[in-house]
Structure 1
Amino acid sequence: MSKQHTTRQKLLDTALELIWASSYGNVTIDDICKAGKISKSSFYHFFKGKSELAVAAYQAHWEKIVPEYDRMFSALIPPLKRLANFCTYLEERTRLLSDKTGKVFGCPYMLAGAELSLIDEDMRRQIQLLFSHIVHYMEQALRDAKYEGLIDQAINPQMMAEDLYAFALGLQLQAKVRNEPDLLKRLEPTMMAMIGAKPTS
């Protein structure tokens, strides 16, 4: 791996980490360079500014976790189990960070979208795209579950996938505000109730 690639990746990782733990507005280019031990000249070699870095950082984060989503939502896994896997993933990620830091971080995409969607069109589009990727995984699981007769047949898979993800984002926000990772335990049973299926064992 080249030094240039390593430096760019360090900028991406550091930016996401700092923004997720604080906010986009609170994090400066100086903060990112200091935390990553990278010179400002190196920063500007790769990015025109903080916004361009943030867009790239969130895209890189998604590319990093795509294999995990592919595993969770594999077509070889029963459709309701795929949704249960997603709930477990969010709960375990939340608890891991909470145990490490004492804080609930929430969803990095939701937080950036809520903060920047009205003031940074590039970030708004980036977060919208990431949301759509996740909803697509959930929609396919719902389509398969509906085909197999496992959920309410009146459900529109696309709309329900959007509703389920909106609920997941909202519950993560509540957990963050209340600093209570245990709230994520509600995720799976509530989702299963929303689609007219019993929680998986």
Structure 2
Amino acid sequence: MGRTSTARDRLRDSACELLHTRGYAAIGVAEICARADVRKGSFYHFFESKQALTIEVIDTHWQAQRTAWRERLAGPEPAVDRLQRLITWLVETQREEWQATGRVDGCLLGNLAIELSNQEDAVQQRLTAAFDEQAAFVHATLAEGVQDGSIAPEYADQTTAKAVVAQIEGAVLLAKLAGDVKQLDNLWPHVRRLVAVTSPRLERSHQLPQIS
């Protein structure tokens, strides 16, 4: 039985890394192939274009992220605590990358959304779908928070859910721009204000651990 080729996976993984750290316009098919150790001719056996590869990168990346979002927003705890758990994980992901590389590379989806905001319609559609799904996860959690008393009813709507996603993406963008992951230390307190936590016990600071 022949050996299964890993070329497609290598192309996708290499593109993911380059897109995250360099951006869409700055890289070409030749560089992706060189990073993946795949011949350029073989690239077009798997993908008709860089755009098609980028769409697969987005889909694969969000599929993994979707699982992580679901896991952190699930559980028996009050909804506000589950939301905090999601924020803490998102911040820790950026910190771990910063500690490993000395850079704040930001959010792959957010980076691409900014760069391609007025071009590459097919890519924009995938990004929009991912962010809409994030907002839907947050919206569902806020609705659960109304039931457990940890979220004010007037803030458990789609507008607030989208504002939470925007707060996350904006904070990560500014940290990337400044090259300073410490700017994410206050992300949770800002998100908490958006959702208007109702319980005095839950209104405490909940500051994320500071970076020494």
**TM-score class normalised by the smaller sequence:** over 0.9
Give the Cα–Cα distance (whole angstroms) in 1 for the partners of residues 204 and 129 of structure 2: 29
Deviation at 1:164, TM superposition (A): 0.7
Aligned AA (1:128): T
1:93 matched residue in structure 2: 93
- Percent identity, please: 25
Structure 2, unaligned runs of 5 or more: 198-202, 207-212
Deviation at 1:151, TM superposition (A): 2.1
Can you list the C-alpha shifts for 1:51-100, whole angstroms capped at 9, x where unaligned?
A: 01001111011112332222101143431122111111111110111111
CA RMSD of aligned residues (A): 1.7
Structure 1, unaligned runs of 5 or more: none
CA contact (8 A) 2:104 2:181 kept: yes
State the SS of the aligned residue for 1:119.
Answer: coil
**Mapping of residues 21-40 of structure 1, within 5 Å:** 21-40=21-40
Give the Cα–Cα distance (whole angstroms) in 2 for the partners of residues 67 and 194 of structure 1: 24
CA contact (8 A) 2:139 2:156 kept: no
CA contact (8 A) 2:78 2:150 kept: no
Distance 1:199 1:27, change over 3 A: farther
2:58 matched residue in structure 1: 58
State the SS of the aligned residue for 1:163.
Answer: helix
With structure 1 as the length reference, what TM-score do the two structures score?
0.93
Distance 1:154 1:65, change over 3 A: closer
**Mapping of residues 37-186 of structure 1, within 5 Å:** 37-186=37-186
Say how many residue pairs are matched: 200
CA contact (8 A) 1:192 1:199 kept: no
Aligned AA (1:109): L
**Per residue, is there more helix in 1 or in 2?**
1
Give the Cα–Cα distance (whole angstroms) in 1 for the partners of residues 81 and 126 of structure 2: 29
User: Stretches of 4+ moved more than 6 A in 1?
Assistant: none
Give the Cα–Cα distance (whole angstroms) in 2 for the partners of residues 78 and 17 of structure 1: 36
Deviates more, 1:77-86 or 1:175-184: 77-86
Give the Cα–Cα distance (whole angstroms) in 1 for the partners of residues 146 and 205 of structure 2: 16
2:4 matched residue in structure 1: 3
Can you list the C-alpha shifts for 1:73-130, whole angstroms capped at 9, x where unaligned?
A: 1143431122111111111110111111111011111110111131100000010011
Can you list the C-alpha shifts for 1:168-188, whole angstroms capped at 9, x where unaligned?
A: 111001100111101111111
Aligned AA (1:111): N
Give the Cα–Cα distance (whole angstroms) in 2 for the partners of residues 156 and 142 of structure 1: 5
Distance 1:199 1:33, change over 3 A: farther
Larger radius of gyration: 2
Give the Cα–Cα distance (whole angstroms) in 2 for the partners of residues 72 and 153 of structure 1: 22
With structure 2 as the length reference, what TM-score do the two structures score?
0.89
Aligned AA (2:178): R
